[in-house]
A and B are shown apart, each in its own frame.
Chain A
Amino acid sequence: MALWITVGQMLSLSLWALLRLRLGGREMVRQVYETGNRSILFVGITMAFIGMIGVYELASTMEAVLPEYSTLGAATLQGLTREMGPIMAGLLLATRVGTGMAAEIGSMQVSDQIDAMKLCSVDPVELLVLPRLFASSIASLGLAALGTTIAFFSGMAVAWFGFSILPDTFMSLRFVVTGDLIMGISKALVFGFTVPLVSCACGFQASGGSEGVGKATTRAVVLSSFLVIVEDALITYIGEVLQ
């Protein structure tokens, strides 16, 4: 319960800061680099494999059912834009970035650094959380776009070499509509906001030395991954209703 109160407090403070355009300036830029640039290799390699596996499975099924591949590329791109790109970026952020945030803030919490900030008139949410929230949202959007592109091209390579589907045939945008793009962007932004929000809250709740930091880190990755999945379902449902 205390965790969700912390999440609620941080959320209201963040929205208030957003309204006043207090985004953390230089620290936010640093966090975009830490969160985004440093995740590129991890996200890129993971998404390349996901693209290859996804296209291989989809093409195998099409081979058995339709024997026709003209829609393979378009269906792959639509799925990546709406679902796999943002959700994988969200989950990978939770794994790589959320754990780091929970551990860093948790360590500061158990070593009294957070209390020291309060005692020095420094608001720890404004200093530590806000730049991470906005940086992570930007990074998540970039990683989702990059991941989608890499997965699409790696899938195209599998389609070409494994199923003799020419790149001209595979590279089709005909299923992707504006609604898919809006859904993908919305998901990436929401996931990018959720992961640091929950992870930082877990860090703030840490207590009891290094064991407490470990527990906070585990809790952060479990909760933020779970929330990414739940939010994905909700946004998909809302998107379908609106369309």
Chain B
Amino acid sequence: MSEPTPVARLIGVDKSFGSHTVLAAVTLELPAGRCTFVAGPSGTGKSVLVRHLVGLLRPDAGEVWYRDLRVDQLDEQALLVLRRKCVYVFQHPTLFDSMSVAENVALVVKYHKGVKARVAESLARAQLERMGLSRLADARPPELPSGEQKLVSLARALALEPETLILDEPTTGLDPYAAFEIDAHVRQLKEQGVTLLVISHDLQSIRRLADEVVFLFDRQVRYQGGMQGFFEANDPVLDQFVHARVHGAI
């Protein structure tokens, strides 16, 4: 079977905040139609890495590509076009507290599709229904538990009908049932052929869903390859991470 074409590429990306270097010469490819997990200890720059893909951060050096677009050189207007194809869902549910759940989703639909508010609202409600979230449509985000807030964030992102979806720690802080529900939606997207990039520490999710795993450590990509290889790699750092050993380089 031939290797899938990469939908996004980072080439030699450096990123520092002040004197603190987070990424040093990071190179990786995101294969189209696959589910890639980015794992690594806390603070290794996983979120920083993926934020480059949607232009939320610009590299100090290196190149960021999404298909044939040079992302690090796009202006805000061009980034809007990119962000309709490649949607990023934050770690914390970034819902707008002053709006209901349906209005949160409708706002995105209205701007994305350029439809009137009433049409956007009915499309938003249809999106919520598809995800089994109709009961939450009129609730305000602060009234919801974090699991449901994350599901609504996912619904909002999916209303954009993205070809690539980036999920930043979608199951962190959730109870096992809510985490399983999120994973079920991710599996469904995977089956639909959506390219997925998931930042996660959740080894169960990685086992359930990952086609590829990228492991970040010490500002660089330590491992990129198949899921099986990730769990069986003969690398003390990966071994410590995978088996949650207290002593080691992490």
Q: Chain A interface (Cβ within 8 Å of chain B)? A: 108, 111-113, 115-116, 118-123, 127
Contacts and interface: CB of A to CB of B under 8 A. Distances in A.
Contact of A121 (B56, B95, B96, B112): B112
Given A120-B111, A122-B107, A122-B108, A112 B92 contact: yes
Contact of A119 (B83, B95, B107): B83
B188 to A, nearest CB: 21
23 contacts: A108-B96, A111-B92, A111-B94, A112-B90, A113-B94, A116-B90, A116-B94, A118-B76, A118-B83, A119-B56, A119-B88, A120-B83, A120-B108, A120-B156, A120-B157, A120-B160, A121-B84, A121-B108, A121-B112, A121-B160, A122-B107, A122-B111, A123-B111
By size class, the interface of chain B is 20 to 34
B233 interface: no
Binding site secondary structure of chain B: helix
B108 A115 contact: no
Contacts of A116: 90, 94
Interface of B: 54, 56, 76, 79-80, 83-84, 87-88, 90, 92, 94-96, 107-108, 111-112, 156-157, 160
List the 8 closest pairs (A to B, CB-CB), nearest first.
A116-B94, A120-B108, A121-B111, A113-B94, A122-B111, A112-B94, A112-B90, A121-B112
Interface hub of A113, A115, A121 (most chain B Cβ within 10 A): A121
Nearest to B96: A113
Nearest to B86: A119
Interface hub of A116, A119, A121, A122 (most chain B Cβ within 10 A): A119
Given A121-B83, A121-B84, A115 B94 contact: yes
Contacts of B76: 118
B18 to A, nearest CB: 13
